[in-house]
A = this chain, B = another copy of it.
């Protein structure tokens, strides 16, 4: 049986730190494109996507749970009653691929985790979900390592930049334009984003809107 890949998703007004370069509708489209890439990676890695949404959202091919509560509260309710292994994977990992997801869910340890940049946690695989509880925000990677230790769980820190690269800010779009292969990259290109190189550093710039082509 495929492992449930729980993907928390906020359909309305997501990714506000991208407001400097995208309108709200564009951020919503980009967030959905990144979600598509994560769903595809989860499926390629042998998992069955289960979206955990803060407001109503439907998507062909993925089951949806609606829970307007906070991320930690809703996930911990889910973990407490789960009888089979679960992968929790964030929706803003557009470089994710099946190989990286496979490495996570095939760990020999009790759990496997991929840290995000800046101390976050981008993916957690739990063999026995009810033995763990999440505590996102801030330096969540360190908190999750401590929770695992307190619970006596062995932890495998999976070394993947594809799952490590979460997209929150304008600078992160560089990674999507360089390493992305899916919907998120196509979305950025359709919005007119291209790489720019100034003074040896790589950034992104946005040209004319190309929504009509």
A residues sitting closer than 8 Å to B (CB atoms) are 97, 99-100, 114-115, 117-119, 137-139, 141-142, 159-164, 171, 174-175, 178-179, 195, 197, 200-202
Ranked 4 nearest A-B pairs via Cβ: A161-B164, A119-B202, A161-B161, A159-B160
Bound CA–CA A171/B169 (angstroms): 14
What residues of B have a CB within 8 angstroms of the CB of A159 in the complex?
A: 97, 99-100, 159-162
Q: Which of B97, B139, B161, B195 contacts A115 (CB 8 A)?
A: B161
Bound CA–CA A118/B199 (angstroms): 13
Q: Which of B117, B138, B179, B195 contacts A197 (CB 8 A)?
A: B138
Do A195 and B119 touch across chains, with their CB atoms under 8 A apart? yes
| Shortest distance between the CB of A119 and any CB in chain B (Å) | 4
What residues of B have a CB within 8 angstroms of the CB of A197 in the complex?
A: 138-139
Main secondary structure of the interface of A (DSSP, over half): helix
Bound CA–CA A201/B162 (angstroms): 21
Copies held by the complex: 2
What residues of B have a CB within 8 angstroms of the CB of A175 in the complex?
A: 117-118
Q: Which of B118, B171, B178 contacts A201 (CB 8 A)?
A: B118
What residues of B have a CB within 8 angstroms of the CB of A115 in the complex?
A: 161, 178-179
The CB with the most chain B CB atoms within 10 A, among A161, A175, A195, is that of: A161
Do B139 and A202 touch across chains, with their CB atoms under 8 A apart? yes
What residues of B have a CB within 8 angstroms of the CB of A195 in the complex?
A: 119, 139
What residues of B have a CB within 8 angstroms of the CB of A114 in the complex?
A: 161
Do B138 and A202 touch across chains, with their CB atoms under 8 A apart? yes
What residues of B have a CB within 8 angstroms of the CB of A161 in the complex?
A: 114-115, 159-161, 163-164
Q: Which of B97, B137, B162, B200 contacts A200 (CB 8 A)?
A: B137
| Shortest distance between the CB of A113 and any CB in chain B (Å) | 12
Do B174 and A119 touch across chains, with their CB atoms under 8 A apart? yes
Bound CA–CA A164/B159 (angstroms): 10
Residue on B nearest A197 in the bound complex, by CB? B138
What residues of B have a CB within 8 angstroms of the CB of A138 in the complex?
A: 197, 200-202
